[in-house]
A = this chain, B = another copy of it.
Amino acid sequence: MSAATPHHELILREELVPADRAEIERIVRESKFFRDDEIPVALELVDDRLAKGAASDYKFVVAVRDGKVAGYCCYGLIPVSVHSYDIYWIAVDPALQRTGIGKKLMAAAEDRIRAAGGRRVYVETSSKGQYEATRRFYFSCAYVVAGVLEEFYAPADGKVIFVKVL
């Protein structure tokens, strides 16, 4: 690490490298926010991006700190929409949560969406009590609730749809 690189500097990059896959799997598993059956869905998006590169419909922002993946965000244009994007996934290493990395990932994704002509960003989460911190996080990023689909995921587990107009 050179003198010009302060310790703990956070680097955001758009490229995915194969070594990111295991790091992303670890972060998604350890975050405790995702069910076991959701992990393969998260990794499918990673694999699509690794296979297709920039041609993939899934765009990434990876946060790197001290040479390790600290968190990531996966987003993309929603098929059949001309200007609406979805934040498909966002996760931060549990050891590094509450340090602002999530907000930086969201802002970086929104900047890229805006630059690509996107006008609306959607992100969804569960209505369950254990996702209260997640919902507070989206509110703190200036998202509003666009709708709630009761029991969408499972009994007593609804989907809350957040939106931010860019």
Binding site for B on A (CB under 8 A): 35, 37-38, 41, 78-84, 119-120, 122, 146-155, 161, 163
Contact = CB atoms under 8 A, between A and B. Distances in A.
Nearest to A81: B153
A9 B153 CA distance: 38
Nearest to A44: B79
Contacts of A78: 152
Nearest to A79: B41
A83 B67 CA distance: 41
Contacts of A119: 151
State how many copies of this chain the complex holds. 2
A155 B148 CA distance: 22
A37 B151 contact: no
Given A147-B149, A149-B163, A154 B82 contact: yes
Contact of A120 (B37, B41, B83, B151): B151
A80 B41 contact: yes
Contacts of A153: 80-82, 84
Given A147-B148, A147-B161, A149-B163, A154 B81 contact: yes
Contact of A149 (B38, B146, B152, B155): B146
